[in-house]
Amino acid sequence: MKNNETTDFAELTSEEVKVAMDKTEGERKQFGSPTLNKLPSNLLPAEDSACQHCQLAAWLVRMEEKDKAEVRCWCRLLNAFSYTGQEPNPIVLCDGSYLTLK
């Protein structure tokens, strides 16, 4: 993909997305969720996501059954769940975190 071309994300290869994620790695680590920091590793999302480092993300743990918890993330920008344990398809790139930078 050339810098002056526009593209739909559906056209990006997984390698191109990985390169873009690597470029923003330092910026993404500026914020860490207090809720996620308290969770054991088996409850954390398997893949790193933009939401894990975004101040617009509200992470929560919901008890589904007596001994079964589900981790969810509510995005205040999208006004929707951006991550649930039932559908663990993390958002890997998003401008939301940049909207909170001063």
pTM for the whole structure? 0.68
Tally of structural domains, the chain:
1
Domain presence at residue 4: no
Domain presence at residue 45: yes
Domain presence at residue 7: no
> Which residues 6+ apart lie within 8 Å of 31 measured at CB?
53, 54, 55, 97, 100
Domain presence at residue 81: yes
What is the extent of the structural domain holding 93? 12-100
Q: Is pLDDT at 29 greater than 60 in this prediction?
A: no
Domain presence at residue 39: yes
**Could you give the C-alpha distances from 88 to 19, 27, 102, in angstroms and in order?**
22, 23, 30
- Please give the span between the terminal C-alpha atoms of the chain, in angstroms, as a whole number: 30
Domain presence at residue 75: yes
Domain presence at residue 2: no
Domain presence at residue 34: yes
Residues 43-89 have pLDDT tens digits of 888 888 888 888 899 999 988 777 888 899 999 999 999 999 888 78
Are 90 and 49 in contact, with CB atoms under 8 Å apart? yes
Q: Which helix (H) or strand (E) holds 24?
A: none
